[in-house]
Each structure stands twice: as C-alpha cells, then as structure tokens.
Amino acid sequence: MRTIVKAVAGALLASTAMVAGASAQTKEVQMLHWWTSGGEAAALNVLKQDLAKEGYGWKDVPVAGGGGDAAMTALKAMVAAGNYPTASQMLGYTVLDYAAAGVMGDLTETAKKEGWDKSVPAPLQKFAVYKGKWVAAPVNVHSVNWLWINKAVMDKIGGTQPKTFDEFIALLDKAKAAGVIPLALGGQNWQEATMFDSIVLSTGGPEFYKKAMNDLDESALKSDTMKKSFDNLAKLKPYVDPNFSGRDWNLATAMVIKGDALVQVMGDWAKGEFVAAKKQPGTDYLCYRFPGTDGSVIYNSDMFGMFNVPADRKAAQVALATATLSKSFQSAFNVVKGSVPARTDVPDTDFDACGKKGIADLKAANEKGTLFGSLAQGYGAPPAVANAYKDVVTKFVHDQIKTSDEAVKQLVAAINDAK
C-alpha cells in the first residue's frame, strides 16, 4: 500500500486543476477494467445499455489480462497523474488500499437510499465500506472452486462426477487414455494459484483453508497438510498439455467448449464463455464443485471502486452505482457473466442450473460460515501477500521449485516477507 499512498501524494500536490483538466465529459462514464473476453464483454454491455437509457456515454479503458495485474498497474499510473477514472474494476484489498490513500469517493448517500446495507452480504461490505463510507459498488460474487466439463467428452469416456481428489485423478486418467487433453490450464500465475486455492480447501478442509489462506497462520502454512496440498498440485501437472505456458484463461475454457479438453478448474467467469458460445448446462457442459469442497465457497467479487471525481462528474458516478446494484441489472449481468448477484434479494428465476446452484451454494456457505476469500483473487489477504503466494505456486508448477517441502518453506518465507 505504501506505493499507492506515495503515488497519491504526488497526484494531490499536482493540484485539483489537473484532475479537472483530464476528466471525462460530465455525461460520460470512464471505466477501467480487464473484461476483454467474449463473455465478459457481453456482460459489460448490459451495463452500457442501462446507462445509455439514462443518457450517459461510456468510455472504455480496457486492459487485457484476466488476473487484473496489468489493469492495476494502469490504474496506479492514472492516479499518480491525477487522472481519476469515474470507476475502476477492483478486487477487495485493492479497494481498501486506495480508500486508505484518500482518493475514493463517497457513495454512502446512494447506498442508504438504495438499501445496500440490508441486501449486500457482510463479507462484501467489509471491502466496499471504508471507515463507515461506501467507496465501491459490488457487481457480483464469483466463486473459484468449480470444475467445468465437456459433457460429450465425459460421456465418451464413461466418466462420472468426481467426489474426491482420488476420483478426480481417476477421471483425468480416463481422458488421457482416450487421447483427450485431461486438464485445460493457462500457465499464468493467477490461474495456477486460483486452482491451488481449491486444492488447499479439498486437501485440508474448511477450517484449514481459513487458517492458512485467510488468517495466514504460520503453523498451518508450514504444516504437513500444506505439503500434501502441493503434492496434490504436482499430481495434476502430468494432465496438462505441453503448450499451456502463458495461455489466457478464456483460451483454456475454449478447449473445453470445443471438446479438445475434458475439464477446466476455474472460477465461474468461465461459464460466461459457455453462455457466449450458446452452450447449455446439462446438455453441453457440466458444472461441479471441485472434489472435496462441496459445502464451501471460495469467493471473490468484482467491485467498481468509485474515485473522488470533480463535482461535475458525480452525477454520472451515482448513475453508475445505482444501475450496478439495481435488481434488474444484478440479474441480467450475472446471468451473462456466470457469477451470482452481489445482493441477496435478487430472484434466481432467470438463472440456469449452474447459476441456481451458485446462488444456493453462496447462501448456504454464508449461513454456515464456510464462505472464504480467495487468496489468489485478492480477497484472502492484501495484494503483497497474494502476489507472494502466486509467485511461489507458479514457480512450483513450472519446476523452478522442485519439491513440496521446498515449496512450503518458500511459501512461509514469502508470505512473512510480504506481511
């Protein structure tokens, strides 16, 4: 966070005139985001159309890169230059960092008027509210512990839903024997760490996941259970094709859609790609929780962080925030995006079978206390810790760390250094 504060301090010294000079037109929403895949673009178009009805134009500032790291680098540069966007797609701890740096706007009046405090789940409010002020509008709730399976390939190999990690390995063996790529993976650090989130939950169970990945308890991080989690990650490596390095997540999803691969372990934004390809759950693809994680949800939430823009741009910002958390938008957007609504009072009527399961799972996990922030996706710990985690996991996947024992040692050291 120190680098953000430093950048902001420089921007504030440059004077507010700079902000006004660089600002977008009053009737225009300037949005920084990393939604550049087909499914994501289709979902964002729902919001553009809603705002167009209110007379607001839309200025995209798209930054490709599914994990959002490139977008956050671009945002830091914009803030340092005093050129605040109306809003930026952001993940939990990053919202809080910018709020602490004093550059976020105040949506509290809008939030009170719209009843956000009663409809938005408490775990999301922890990241959307800073010192009593609403500074971000939650757009959705994603969960990462999913399997996405091509049904035709599943039928061809005689596969059934894997309920345990060992059954998952047996299923991948069947695909391999049939000459199909078993596991579609993009070799990027955030994708590998997102899959590892699910492996840790599957290996250690809910209490262990919380201790290790949210509480950052050192005894959990250096435990035999964490070593076994890395062992299980190692077991999955032989099922990935040799060309996986650097592959974007949506290209891995496309491998499953086309039947070139059996399964992808990915957050439910992957479902947006199936929707865009006009595929149907139960007919063309199957959605299961990662084996051993039923009853728990590892979540992240896309939020629109709202910046402290000049007075003549506030109305556009309020319109964006109001539209984002309207029930109609929450349903229409999340049906397309693959996620579930960020408010609990949106009916599941328009959602398909996977969406209905996602909504029900989220409600149950929230009530049972098994709703956990994804460390890979910016909700388990602050960005420096998440980046340290992703770095160790990707080194292990790409054989720069050779053993599970060494991976555990490096994970503990990296997280301690990043705290």
Q: CA of 12: how far to CAs of 79, 84, 248, 401, in Å?
A: 9, 11, 37, 43
Give the pLDDT confidence score for residue 66 in this predicted structure: 73
Q: How far apart are the first and last CA of the chain?
A: 11
Give the pLDDT confidence score for residue 13 in this predicted structure: 36
Which amino acid is it at 165?
Answer: F
How would DSSP label each residue in 93-147? HHHHHHHHTT-B---HHHHHHHTHHHHS-HHHHHHHEETTEE-EEE--BEE--EE
Give the pLDDT confidence score for residue 4 in this predicted structure: 56
Give the pLDDT confidence score for residue 67 in this predicted structure: 77
Q: Domain 144-298+364-418: what homologous superfamily?
A: Periplasmic binding protein-like II (3.40.190.10)
- Long-range contacts for 3-9 (Cβ within 8 Å, ≥24 apart)? 3/76, 4/76, 4/79, 4/97, 4/98, 4/101, 5/100, 5/101, 7/76, 7/79, 7/80, 7/101, 8/79, 8/80, 8/98, 8/101, 8/102, 8/103
Which amino acid is it at 58?
Answer: W
3-state secondary structure of 216: coil
Give the pLDDT confidence score for residue 25 in this predicted structure: 53
Q: Which residues does 79 contact at the CB level (< 8 Å), separation at least 6?
A: 4, 7, 8, 11, 98, 103, 307
Q: CA of 32: how far to CAs of 56, 68, 70, 78, in Å?
A: 16, 10, 11, 10
Give the pLDDT confidence score for residue 65 in this predicted structure: 78
- Structure-token match 């673009």, residue found: 41
Question: Which residue, 350, 340, 379, is CA-closest to 125?
Answer: 379
Question: Which residue, 321, 353, 322, is CA-closest to 338?
Answer: 353
Q: Tokens standing for 399?
A: 């054989």
pTM exceeding the 0.85 threshold for the entire prediction: yes
Catalogue the E-assigned strands of 233-350: 261-265, 285-289, 297-300, 303-306
Question: Which residue, 59, 5, 71, is CA-closest to 33?
Answer: 71
CATH of 2-142+301-362 among 3.40.50.10300, 3.40.50.2000, 3.40.190.10, 3.30.70.120: 3.40.190.10
Please state, in angstroms and rounded to a whole number, the distance separating the CA atoms of residues 209 and 323. Answer: 35
The strand pairing partners of 29, in sequence order, are 58
Q: What is the mean pLDDT of each run of 10 residues along the chain (419 residues)?
A: 47 37 66 92 93 94 84 94 95 95 96 95 95 98 98 98 98 98 97 98 98 98 98 98 96 98 97 96 98 97 96 95 95 95 95 97 93 95 96 98 98 97
Give the pLDDT confidence score for residue 62 in this predicted structure: 83
Question: Which residue, 401, 400, 403, is CA-closest to 227?
Answer: 403
Please state, in angstroms and rounded to a whole number, the distance separating the CA atoms of residues 123 and 83. Answer: 30
Element (H, E) at 63: none
Give the pLDDT confidence score for residue 64 in this predicted structure: 83
Give the pLDDT confidence score for residue 194 in this predicted structure: 98
Q: What DSSP character marks residue 245?
A: B
Give the pLDDT confidence score for residue 1 in this predicted structure: 52
Q: CA of 158: how far to CAs of 62, 260, 262, in Å?
A: 42, 16, 12
Give the pLDDT confidence score for residue 5 in this predicted structure: 45
Domain boundaries, the chain: 2-142+301-362, 144-298+364-418
Give the pLDDT confidence score for residue 18 in this predicted structure: 37
- Helical packing angle, 189-209 and 383-397, nearest 10°: 110
Please state, in angstroms and rounded to a whole number, the distance separating the CA atoms of residues 212 and 228. Answer: 13
C-alpha torsion angle, residues 340, 52, 95, 148 (rounded to 10): 30
Give the pLDDT confidence score for residue 12 in this predicted structure: 38
